[in-house]
Structure 1
């Protein structure tokens, strides 16, 4: 065989080998979450479980999208903004991930937004909540599957049935989650006649709420009509329990708060009849995706899926739908596919709003029911609050 023929045969063999290898290059996705250093670790772990289940469901167990195997790379932010920025840059750069999903704390996630813009790669925010994550300081590479503070608080306001007879004092943590949440709550009450008589903000990790509670009692106790303390705290410290121990009922004051993860819901047994709003409770949605999630989670882990498990699954389903419908794996094609995209989740349909990439979605109006045969208080469905019932402010104009 002459040299030319040998070269042609060698090149043909090389192409036969290289062709399938290129087609099967993995799609790398980074999960950037706090896995050490905070009580919020449970949120991160639920999100990751949900994300893995979402990839499994969306790919029918093949773990491949358009012939590419999915490779998930997990990185720990340690709940530190500087660490989060560094590991996200590492994921985009050294690991060459297609996109990233994270993170858990709103404050930490806010510091990650410029990294997505610097590397011109997509960051899907899940489960951090603050409105500012799709606000003016965000950018076109950021999409948000998690609900935002405005959804929390507009749903909470709807659940309170606000009118001129209602007076509210609020308690929140003094960081992006708490500040954005109360601002959204006040915005949702505009035009209803309800009066917010006091706003209390406490540092994260606060365990003593005595002084803040006394100030709220003093602001409310002499008001005529309904008097409510709204508790909007994501961390520990048991603010509702400590407020209850100070006997708000002697002033005719009731409590309201959003729902929580299952390990926290046993503490809600102290508040039968309490009404509020929540992102997800496994019994309150009926659709094929949620049915599968509940069945599989029970079979594998012996417990129902929780608050952030559903969120992680929603993020994974968004990723798969985007990759399947985009013209290519280039970032610009993914953005084009995702803007305005509607996809199904355990909570029903979600839609990425084109203007700021916030996922519009439903919320749950619940009423706490206590069943002695159930370990936790049950956020029983009053009704689903549909996305169109909430006037969610547009954060960023692309």
Structure 2
């Protein structure tokens, strides 16, 4: 009888411990560079969007299955070694269930092996490089941010390439820039278009004089449509290029979308066409309507480029936690592979093979509106995921 009572007591104690565990908060770590780079504005938008996404997805409770969501904020300072240490701390000491990061593709690459070592999920947002879901990635990594191939295939579609198109490219010399141009060239394969020059500049460059001269020389004598395509982040290449008057050689400028402060420089190029990830007036759906309304109420401005991505990542996490029967890593991975979830851009789906979220992009044309501080990327059309042949990254058996 004593042994029975002892067993019952042990079972009761275990149930009590499990009940307490269920009441513990679910911890999510946000690891982004919040200091040390012009890209910190992207991180802050991501965090604002993540908070709004949690509110929307949980109907204001900030709870999933009765457990409060606790955010752990860490500043990677845009340094790979700092980021690795902080992710290990988040998974180990802080017991974070899921981590989200980073802003820089180079820093995010440094996080991939840490997620594998701790066997916990890393959700990449907003870093873009294709390599983040490529051969060097692993099965613990998911990605809500678009990738360079999406940017570039949409960009190629917006340029309507043929054998009369001659393009020179300008990008920064790091993972985002080089992956982007490689993806752009791949997107142009088979169209007849000609890439006649590639220029890579330091990540924080301010002097474009020699670079612009080389770009102009590569294009000026070509017989056809001539375009300089810029793939940069955190620097203004538009102003020096526009000031150099490429039109005197019949050269057009083109670039992807950007955050609202950066779009001020786009006022110099009305009529410019390109492809973008997000502008608050482009998507037409209830989630985006809610985001625009509540962001304006809270911050006095419309949501920006990376705000939408932050919201998407939060909605993906809440959807996974709601759907998963248990929250161990293997069950979460099985739940998230092939999972479709709502976002301000409409539904996204994690591709099972490499965990990249497939999503729409938007063709735009720049116009200048009175009373608007930035150039408006006017919506031309939605470029849906199935229009883009996004290369497969790693195999999901890795």
- On whether the aligned pair clears a TM of 0.5, the verdict is yes
How is 1:236-255 mapped onto 2 (pairs within 5 angstroms)? 236=235, 238-255=236-253
**Is 2:325 the partner of 1:327?**
yes
Distance 1:11 1:357, change over 3 A: closer
Distance 1:94 1:217, change over 3 A: same
TM-score normalised per structure 1: 0.96
Match of 2:257 among 236, 256, 259: 259
Q: Deviations over 1:9-55 (max 9, x none)?
A: 99899678656422211110000000110111100000001011111
Q: Say if 2:242 and 2:269, in contact at 8 Å, map to a contact too.
A: no
1:361 alignment partner in structure 2: 359
SS of equivalent residue, structure 1 residue 55? helix
Q: CA deviation at 1:255?
A: 0.2
Q: How far apart, in 1, do the equivalents of 2:358 and 2:18 lie?
A: 41
**Is 2:293 the partner of 1:295?**
yes
Q: How far apart, in 1, do the equivalents of 2:217 and 2:172 lie?
A: 20
1:389 alignment partner in structure 2: 387
2:348 alignment partner in structure 1: 350
Q: How far apart, in 2, do the equivalents of 1:203 and 1:278 lie?
A: 24
Distance 1:17 1:157, change over 3 A: same
TM-score normalised per structure 2: 0.96
Q: How far apart, in 2, do the equivalents of 1:132 and 1:13 lie?
A: 49
Q: CA deviation at 1:202?
A: 0.6
How is 1:60-139 mapped onto 2 (pairs within 5 angstroms)? 60-139=59-138
Q: Say if 2:115 and 2:121, in contact at 8 Å, map to a contact too.
A: yes
Distance 1:35 1:7, change over 3 A: same
Q: Say if 2:167 and 2:196, in contact at 8 Å, map to a contact too.
A: yes
Q: CA deviation at 1:64?
A: 0.6
1:46 alignment partner in structure 2: 45
**Is 2:221 the partner of 1:217?**
no
Q: How far apart, in 1, do the equivalents of 2:57 and 2:205 lie?
A: 41
1:378 alignment partner in structure 2: 376
1:140 alignment partner in structure 2: 139
Q: How far apart, in 1, do the equivalents of 2:176 and 2:278 lie?
A: 18
Q: How far apart, in 2, do the equivalents of 1:111 and 1:7 lie?
A: 50
Q: How far apart, in 2, do the equivalents of 1:146 and 1:18 lie?
A: 38
1:33 alignment partner in structure 2: 32
SS of equivalent residue, structure 2 residue 342? strand
Q: How far apart, in 2, do the equivalents of 1:8 and 1:345 lie?
A: 49
CA RMSD, 1 decimal: 1.9
Q: How far apart, in 2, do the equivalents of 1:140 and 1:211 lie?
A: 43
Q: CA deviation at 1:353?
A: 0.5
| Structure 2 gap ranges (5+) | none
